[in-house]
């Protein structure tokens, strides 16, 4: 007695997964291309110092200060209302840690304003990001 698949009343019971695999591969390629673009964000030339690289955990908040001293929290321009934005940020309320990326040509006063606003907002952990200078090693 041979078992064979028939097109009877039940029809085929196999699931065709080829379209699903095609869609998943397209999504994988799209995310692989866009993820580095989203992570870089603003163009900031970090100062080069003899230090280890500062990795930023995914859940942390990064304040970027550009060459023209504009301040961005993520992609939002917060130059005018930095203190209020830091106080209202929900992830800062839980983690209390802020990473500051300042362009190397920014005046000390702009970084000091950012640090002062962060302290006034109750942030307990400030981290200054730098570009490690590996030329002397």
pLDDT tens, position by position, 99-116: 898 888 899 889 999 999
Task: Note the pLDDT tens digit of each residue in 82-97.
Answer: 999 998 888 887 778 8
What is the CATH number that goes with domain 48-132? 3.30.420.270
pLDDT tens column, 27-83 = 999 888 877 766 556 677 766 767 666 566 666 788 999 999 999 988 889 989 999
- DSSP track, the chain: -------SSS-------HHHHHHHHHHHHHHHHHHHHHHH-S---PPEESS------TTSEEEEE-TT--EEETTEE-STTHHHHHHH-HHHHHH-EEEEEE-TTS-HHHHHHHHHHHHHTT--EEEE--EE--TT-
Domain locations in the chain? 48-132
């Amino acid at each position: 007695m041979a078992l064979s698949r028939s097109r009877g009343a039940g029809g085929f019971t196999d699931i065709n997964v080829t379209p699903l695999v095609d869609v998943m591969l397209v999504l994988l390629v799209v995310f692989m291309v866009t993820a580095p673009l989203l992570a870089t964000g603003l163009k900031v030339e970090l100062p080069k110092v003899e230090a280890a690289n500062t990795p930023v955990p995914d859940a942390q908040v990064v304040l970027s200060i550009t060459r023209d001293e504009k301040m961005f929290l993520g992609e939002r321009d917060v130059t005018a209302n930095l203190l209020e934005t830091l106080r209202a940020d929900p992830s800062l309320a839980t983690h209390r840690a802020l990473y500051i990326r300042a362009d190397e040509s920014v005046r000390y006063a702009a970084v000091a304003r950012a640090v002062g606003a962060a302290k006034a907002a109750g942030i307990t952990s400030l981290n200054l990001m730098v570009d490690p200078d590996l030329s002397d090693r």
